[in-house]
Chains A and B, each alone.
Chain A
Amino acid sequence: MMAMTMADDGVAPDGLLAARARDGDRAAFAALVERHYDFIFRVAFRLTGRRDAAEDVAQDVCVRLGRAISGYRGGAAFTTWLYAVVLNAARDALRRSSREAVRAHAFGTHVALFSADAAEPDDPAEALWAAVRELPDKQREAVTLVYGEGLSHAEAAEALGIAEPTVSWHVHEAKKRLKALLRPAGDERR
């Protein structure tokens, strides 16, 4: 079992580790999470834009993985599947904070919101990312995968569980919207 499953460089491929983890191999699961934590954190950071939020999301993803791994069927590449888990976790986290924002607004109270201490975007790329985070869920996720993670539209479609043309459409919509979002912001800041 072992000899044939080792990859060239002596490291077990994701798929194999995942399959073993699914069958109850704790060490394989630990290795898998260890290997991908930075990846998870990076995607979470792109989606949330803040270190502490990204750490929370990443931890949430890890907890979810402990349960969800038993449902991993190995159909898609492990990272594709992982993208979906991170996207879900980030979406939930963002919803929680936006819900708080709405509530705080409704009751007219001033609550220190998550977004209050966001870094002041002084470089244009950071400002652009900040704008991306204001997009609706699907557009934000599509843009993050395509531009942040460099996935093709087809790969992003797989991770998002939607059709490829839909990804293209979301990206297209995002561009339209970003133009509108960035114009007034740029005028004010500089």
Chain B
Amino acid sequence: MNENDPLDGLRGRPAPQPTREARQRALEAALRSYDENFSTAPQGSPDGKRQTGRISEIWRGLMQRKLAATPAIAGLVALPIAGYAAWHLMGEGSPFGPALEGGTPPPVTETQAPARQKEAAPAPKPEVAEEREIDLSTQLAARPEADQLAAQPNAAAPVEAMRSAPMPAPAGTRMVRGLSEAQSKLSVLPPEPMPPEAVSQDRLQAFDTNPVRSALESPVSTFSIDVDTASYSYVRSMLKSGVMPNPDSVRVEEMINYFPYDWKGPDAAATPFNTTVSVMPTPWNEHTQLMHVAIKGYDVQPAQQPAANLVFLIDTSGSMNAPDKLPLLKSAFRLLVNQLSDADTVSIVTYAGSAGVALEPTKGSDRAKILAALDNLGAEGSTAGEAGLKEAYRLAESSFVKDGVNRIMLATDGDFNVGPSSDEELKTLIEAKRKDGVFLSVFGFGRGNLNDQLMQTIAQNGNGTAAYIDTLAEAEKVLVQESRATLFPIAKDVKIQVEFNPAVVSEYRLIGYETRALKREDFNNDRVDAGEIGSGHSVTAIYEITPKGSPAQMMDDLRYGAGTDKPAGDAAAGAHGGEYAFVKIRYKLPGEDASRLIETPVTKANEVASFGQASADQRFSVAVAAFGQKLRDTDATASFDYDRIMEIATAARGSDPFGYRAEFLSLVRLASALDGKR
């Protein structure tokens, strides 16, 4: 086989010898790191301040970095930082948190402060006050170090403010060499730049934007509901790191549905949701109209909530070892655990080199135990997703709650399926378990390795949501603000079918939902799976429609199609004349197998005379739709510039209690700047 092996030329290449200095430096660094590791191991008590540890760590990381960014006060700041770090060190045992294999340490500042203390005072040290002084002097002597901290890529704080700033060059390793002498004297551990993400390896599913369709030739449009929000978070994280998102990563409906809208909801749980349809002028085309379909799910009151049986399936492979992955994941799941009631059950399964149970099913009343198990997770090894999934299903079934919520919550950075099975087999497994009543939601973390396509597939087939969590704020939105929607489904297999009246509408185009398209006949087929709506969810779908006779018509009338005008004319004259369309929604209640139907005709009564008269929420959702289409480089919005989107969104901002809309505005601004340069 070697004869024509093109890679044989690679064999036997000698590598150069390392320089003595580099070798020496490395060995010293190794010993420092070793000393630190081993001298801290016996310190501290194993439990202690864990309850608040993670959250405060994130804030601390932020505070330290902000302060350290001002070199003039860095020396002064060292004192509280060191004091805090020492307190933290004693509280948590190891400054590195969970053991790291081949990984990078958590917050940089933290690993440094203890390092200094250790060298200066190697003995066990109960008195914090004494250390502060020692540490202050070391820190003052190592002033260049403070500047360097400020230059570190965002290591600890997954907080918006930190992410938005482009980080300077890979300063870390270079400076290590320059500083090595000073460091070996001071015995300061060189900081490691953290790798927050790599951009290249995210797997996205390519899809074509929905085309304009003729209402005469294909009057019926069918699609499944989609309440995922992953695309918006992903787009946001791309824009904030200064890169225009790949058009394939932009799913317009997920961007629209990211925002909570105050659509009118149903009055009782008997009707799980209410539908509001409006027709309004299109801001980006004066000759077309938008048909805006807004669905609001019934908000289940806490007292009526069924018990939940949750299995966290957590990816702890080596790739999760980045500040925006495992540490963020732990904080996020903590938030969720704090939402649970005492009757709920939580289990934790991890999967890395092998799948393991980190927490047997535990009642929500034993919260401390759940949180401790979460804290103990560490990242190492490669991924055995399939084994982990099977284990999670086993646990979910072992503590199955009849008539309750049985859900696996998979958290991963993407490389989910390294087992022997194909994506197709995984899908089949998830489908089968869904029928048994165990649903699955997917939470994506980090970037660089994200398998967006598989995430979508898994969540769609598991009757769950797929959300991408890039910041703690996002975790708060998904797992706290919307925890009821995420956890408690009120309707499943929700499908929408719209039949347009060719007498009134000549052409239509569905904005988004490309990956959710269904066949016309699937609408009435209860065996065909579709999306689910959670408690209080709002879902929005927007069609751009071209009225009959509008100059915006894309397709010419058929020369030989005169005969087809006849039935259209009949419809106009008939009982349903003047109707724009007929909207049908099919859904199943969570425990049922037979679907129910809601039908709504769309008439002139649904019309809003001018765009300005539409409600703020409607206008805002249209602005998001325009922005999503811009990012996908859709023809319809090509001449509609970002400034107009800004105008509409700014005017429609409303009260915006959580700042989601304000953030959207900043994204539009960013995209406008980035797009101009492209």
CB of A156 closer than 8 Å to a CB of B: no
Do A147 and B34 touch across chains, with their CB atoms under 8 A apart?
A: no
Q: Mark A39-62, 1 if CB is under 8 A from B, else 0.
A: 011100110000100111011111
Query: Which chain A residues lie closer than 8 Å to B8 at the CB level?
Result: 147
Which residues of A lie under 8 Å from residue B173 when comparing CB positions? 56, 59-60, 93
A126 vs B15: C-alpha distance when bound (angstroms): 11
Q: How far is B446's CA from A165's CA once the two chains are assembled, in angstroms?
A: 28
Residue contacts A-B, CB under 8 angstroms, 9 given: A41-B22, A55-B18, A60-B192, A87-B102, A93-B173, A95-B197, A128-B7, A162-B418, A175-B7
A174 interface residue per 8 A CB criterion: yes
Which interface residue of B5, B7, B176, B195 has the most chain A CB atoms within 10 A?
Answer: B7
Tell which of B25-33, B425-433, B526-534, B624-632 binds the partner.
Answer: B25-33
Residues of A within 8 A of B5 (CB): 175
A173 contacts B by Cβ under 8 Å: no
Instruction: Check if B10 sits within 8 Å of A147, measured CB to CB.
Output: yes
Is the Cβ of B7 less than 8 Å from the Cβ of A178?
yes
Answer yes or no: A97 CB below 8 A from chain B CBs. yes
Q: Quote the shortest CB–CB distance from B155 to chain A (angstroms).
A: 12
Q: Are B9 and A124 in contact (CB under 8 A)?
A: yes
Task: Give every chain B residue within 8 A of A34 (Cβ-Cβ).
Answer: 27
The verdict on A129 contacting B13 (CB below 8 Å), with A26-B34, A37-B26 known, is: yes
Q: State whether the Cβ of A125 lies closer than 8 Å to any Cβ in chain B.
A: yes
The chain B residue sitting closest to A84, CB to CB, is B102
Contact (Cβ within 8 A) B33 A132: no
- Known pairs A41-B23, A66-B29, A67-B36; list 11 more (Cβ under 8 Å): A33-B31, A42-B15, A46-B13, A64-B104, A66-B34, A67-B100, A88-B103, A95-B195, A106-B244, A175-B5, A175-B6
Residue of B nearest to A161 (CB): B382
With A42-B15, A67-B96, A178-B7 given, is the CB distance from A26 to B31 under 8 Å? yes
Bound: A92/B170 CA distance, A? 12
Cβ of B381 within 8 Å of any chain A Cβ, yes or no, is yes
- With contacts A59-B26, A125-B9, A174-B7 taken as known, whether A45 is within 8 angstroms of B200 at the C-beta atoms is no
Q: How distant is B569 from chain A, measured CB to nearest CB, in Å?
A: 55
> B interface, by DSSP: helix, strand, loop or mixed?
loop
**Known contacts A92-B195, A147-B11, A150-B11; is A66 also within 8 Å of B31 by CB?**
yes
Query: How would you classify the secondary structure of chain A's contact residues: helix, strand, loop or mixed?
Result: helix
How close is B34's CB to chain A, nearest CB, in angstroms?
Answer: 4
What sequence of 0s and 1s flags, for each residue 102-133 of chain A, a beta carbon within 8 Å of any chain B beta carbon?
11001110010010000000001110110010
Query: Taking each of B8, B35, B37, which has the highest tally of chain A beta carbons within 10 Å of its own beta carbon?
Result: B37
CB-defined contacts of A51 to chain B, threshold 8 Å = 16, 18
Asked whether B30 lies within 8 Å of A63 as measured between CB atoms, the reply is yes
Tell me whether B382 and A98 are in contact (CB under 8 A). no
- Chain B interface size band reads 35 or more
Question: When the two chains form their complex, are residues B15 and A58 in contact, meaning their CB atoms are under 8 A apart?
Answer: no
Quick check: is A148 within 8 A (CB to CB) of the other chain? yes
Q: Which among A33, A46, A55 is the interface contact of B30 at CB below 8 angstroms?
A: A33
The distance from the CB of B416 to the nearest CB of chain A, in whole angstroms, is 14
Ordered nearest first, which 5 A-B pairs have the shortest CB separation? A66-B33, A62-B30, A66-B34, A161-B382, A147-B10
A residues near B, CB below 8 A? 21, 24, 26, 29-30, 33-34, 37-38, 40-42, 45-46, 51, 54-56, 58-71, 84-85, 87-89, 92-93, 95-100, 102-103, 106-108, 111, 114, 124-126, 128-129, 132, 136-137, 143, 147-148, 150, 160-163, 171, 174-175, 178-179
> Cβ of B169 < 8 Å from any Cβ of A?
yes
Give bound CA distance, A59 to B173, whole Å.
Answer: 9
A41-B18, A45-B15, A178-B6 in contact; A68/B318 too (CB < 8 A)? no
* B:141-178 near A, CB below 8 Å: 153, 166, 169-170, 173, 176-177
Q: B192 — which chain A residues lie within 8 A by C-beta?
A: 60, 63
The chain A residue with its CB closest to the CB of B36 is A66
- Cα distance, A62 to B623, chains bound together (Å): 52
- Number of A-B residue pairs at CB separation under 8 A: 199
For the complex, give the distance between the alpha carbons of A67 and B106 in Å. 12
| Contacts from B to A (Cβ < 8 Å) | 5-11, 13, 15-19, 22-23, 25-27, 29-38, 41, 96, 99-105, 153, 166, 169-170, 173, 176-177, 189-190, 192-193, 195-201, 241-244, 318, 353, 380-382, 418, 420, 448, 674, 677
**Closest chain B residue to A148 by CB distance?**
B10
Residues of A with C-beta under 8 A to B29: 59, 62-63, 66
A93 to chain B, nearest CB (A): 7
A67-B33, A103-B242 as given contacts; A58 in contact with B99, CB under 8 Å: no
**Contact status B243-A102, CB under 8 Å:** yes
Shortest Cβ distance from residue B226 to the other chain A in the assembled complex, whole angstroms: 30
Neighbour of A55 across the interface among B22, B243, B244, B677, CB < 8 A: B22
A96 and B41 form a contact (CB under 8 A): no
Which residues of chain A come closer than 8 Å to B15, judged between CB atoms? 41-42, 45-46, 54
Residues of B with C-beta under 8 A to A88: 102-103, 318
Within the assembled complex, what's the spacing in Å between the Cα atoms of A67 and B36? 8
B100 touches A64 (CB 8 A): yes
- Smallest CB gap from B321: residue in A: A88
Q: In the complex, are the beta carbons of B201 and A97 less than 8 A apart?
A: no
Residues of B within 8 A of A150 (CB): 11
Q: Which residues on A sit within 8 Å (CB–CB) of B6?
A: 175, 178-179
B31 close to A29 (CB less than 8 A):
yes
A99/B197 contact (C-beta < 8 A), A37-B27, A62-B30, A66-B34 known:
yes
Q: Are B31 and A30 in contact (CB under 8 A)?
A: yes
Expressed in whole angstroms, the Cα–Cα distance for A63 and B103 within the complex equals 10
Q: Is the CB of B10 within 8 A of A98?
A: no
Chain A residue contacts of B30, Cβ below 8 A: 29-30, 33, 62-63, 65-66
A129 to B29, CA, bound (A): 30
Minimum C-beta distance from A20 to chain B (A): 12
Supposing A100-B170, A103-B242 touch, asked if A63 and B25 sit within 8 A by C-beta, the answer is no
Q: Roughly how many angstroms separate A137 CA and B353 CA in the complex, as a whole number?
A: 19
Contacting pair B10 A132 (CB below 8 A): yes
A47 to chain B, nearest CB (A): 10
A71 contact from B10, B193, B197, B380, Cβ within 8 A: B380
In the complex, the chain B residue whose C-beta lies closest to that of A94 is B198
Contacts of A38 in B (CB 8 A): 17-18, 23
Closest chain A residue, CB of each to CB of B382: A161
Cα separation A24 to B103 with both chains bound (whole Å): 20
- Given A38-B18, A92-B104, A148-B10, also A108-B27 (CB < 8 A): no
A178 / chain B contacts, CB cutoff of 8 Å: 6-7
Task: Please give the distance in Å from A97's CB to the nearest CB on chain B.
Answer: 6
Closest chain B residue to A114, Cβ basis? B170
